[in-house]
């Protein structure tokens, strides 16, 4: 017998709704309960057509408007912590006022709650709307629900003119995003007994040159569509050795290159291979960025309607997937991105309301 989905009250205020969404645990690949709740809350709304692909829920209006806008947000989170336990959520008094504390309050269930409120409140939007509540953004892209929609039901997104990804931006508009490349830089040695190291060659010692190049590396800032994107290249993992009495015959330094959207994926790979010339380099992941596209009419109208300044998105987000479809997209949502994934994740409650009201002004 199927379980009854947990209830979400879309008529509730946006902060209470955010708390309710957060309190339904949805660590990546375990989003079913929240997807069920979102689907159950949206299906009764007569102005929406609802589809389900895995644990991704897509809801659309079909009013014949001149433009269609996508509002998108992922419903998964990174794992919970035990000390301090960051669920259930709770409201606490912060330095600047009341905050909602707990996993997902920043990344990005506040944005999900704003989307749910818009879906409930705006029955006659000025533009047709497509809401995408998608799974598995926080892990390898092969699981990404937005990607699965593009692959399995492309018609649900094909007619979009503009997209807003409600990732945390401190309630500011962030245009585009940087690309991200991960590569494994390897050194090779010869195994030997650690009591007789002259019989072998230490691969970990050779990795010192990889780290030295990283320490000396000077990243650049590139201006793209009038926004400044600060690049970065650094080590994120290092592994090597098989036992404490064996000279290691292999060492791997995993590096992450965050590059401006003016570079192609091929440009980024060529740059990393140049930096580590002479070493074995294997690119294990490479996702291109997205240009801001703020010169396009739909993006300009969004910025003007909200009356906010625009900054460059210094990370990678799924706006890149919309960019690849030819759909201009921006990031705009509640929460300080610097607090995303942290044990004390928290967001000022006023930001939930501010983002909801901004989108209401634009769409209603």
Residue 184's Cβ-count burial label (10 Å; 0-12, 13-18, 19+) is middle
E strand or H helix at 34: helix 32-42
Buried b (16+ CB within 10 A) or exposed e, 143-167: bbbbbbbbeeeeebbeebbbbbbbb
Whether residue 364 contacts residue 346, with contact meaning beta carbons closer than 8 Å, is answered with: no
What SS3 class is residue 364?
coil
Q: Which residues does residue 247 pair with via DSSP β-bridges, in sequence order? A: 192
Q: The tokens of 179 are what?
A: 């690309």
The Cα 105–Cα 21 span in angstroms is: 9
Q: The tokens of 143 are what?
A: 């699981």
Q: DSSP per residue over 236-289, as a string? A: EEEEE-S-TTEE-SEEEEEEEEEE-TTS-HHHHHHHHHHHTTTSEEEEEEEE--
Q: What CA dihedral angle connects 24, 25, 29 and 34, to 10 degrees? A: 0
Whether residue 75 contacts residue 38, with contact meaning beta carbons closer than 8 Å, is answered with: yes
Handedness of CA 300, 306, 309, 313 (dihedral sign): negative
Contacts 24+ apart (CB under 8 A), 211-216: 211/235, 211/253, 213/275, 213/276, 214/255
Tell me which of 31, 36, 39, 76 is the catalytic residue.
76
The DSSP secondary-structure symbol of 44 reads T
**How many residues make up the chain in this entry?**
364
Instruction: Establish whether the linkage from the previous residue to 84 is cis, with ω within 30° of 0.
Output: yes
Tell me which of 36, 137, 231, 336 is the catalytic residue.
137
E strand or H helix at 118: helix 109-121
The Cα 104–Cα 86 span in angstroms is: 9
Q: Which residues does residue 258 pair with via DSSP β-bridges, in sequence order? A: 180, 232
The Cα 9–Cα 38 span in angstroms is: 10
The answer to whether 76 is a known catalytic residue is yes
Query: Which amino acids are annotated catalytic?
Result: 76, 137
């Amino acid at each position: 017998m199927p379980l009854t989905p947990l209830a979400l009250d879309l008529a509730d205020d946006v902060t209470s709704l955010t708390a309710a969404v957060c309190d339904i645990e949805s660590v990546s690949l375990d989003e079913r309960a929240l997807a069920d709740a979102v689907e159950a809350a949206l299906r009764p709304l007569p102005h929406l057509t609802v589809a389900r692909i895995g644990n991704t829920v897509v809801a659309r209006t079909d009013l014949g408007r001149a433009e269609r806008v996508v509002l998108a947000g992922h419903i998964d989170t990174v794992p919970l912590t035990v000390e301090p336990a960051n669920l259930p959520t709770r409201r606490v008094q912060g330095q600047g006022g009341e905050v909602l504390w707990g996993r997902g309050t920043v990344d990005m269930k506040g944005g999900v709650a704003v989307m749910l409120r818009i879906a409930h409140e705006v029955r006659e939007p000025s533009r047709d709307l497509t809401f995408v509540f998608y799974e598995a953004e926080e892990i390898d892209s092969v699981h990404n629900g937005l990607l699965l929609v593009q692959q399995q039901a492309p018609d649900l997104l094909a007619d979009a003119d503009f997209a807003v990804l409600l990732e945390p931006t401190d309630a500011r508009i962030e245009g585009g995003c940087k690309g991200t490349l991960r590569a494994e830089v390897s050194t090779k040695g010869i195994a030997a007994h650690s009591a007789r190291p002259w019989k072998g060659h230490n691969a970990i010692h050779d990795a010192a040159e990889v780290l030295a190049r990283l320490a000396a590396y000077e990243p650049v800032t590139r201006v793209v569509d009038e926004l400044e994107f600060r690049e970065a290249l650094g080590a994120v993992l290092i592994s090597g050795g098989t036992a404490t009495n064996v000279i290691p015959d292999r060492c791997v330094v995993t590096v992450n290159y965050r590059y401006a959207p003016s570079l192609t994926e091929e440009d980024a790979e060529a740059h990393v291979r140049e930096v580590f010339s002479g070493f074995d380099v294997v690119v294990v992941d490479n996702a291109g960025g997205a240009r801001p596209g703020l010169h396009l009419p739909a993006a300009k109208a969004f910025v003007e309607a909200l009356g906010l300044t625009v900054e460059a998105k210094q990370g990678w987000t799924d706006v890149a997937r919309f960019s690849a479809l030819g759909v201009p997209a921006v990031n705009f949502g509640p929460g300080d991105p610097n607090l995303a994934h942290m044990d004390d994740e928290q967001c000022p409650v006023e930001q939930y309301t501010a983002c909801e009201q901004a989108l209401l002004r634009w769409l209603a």
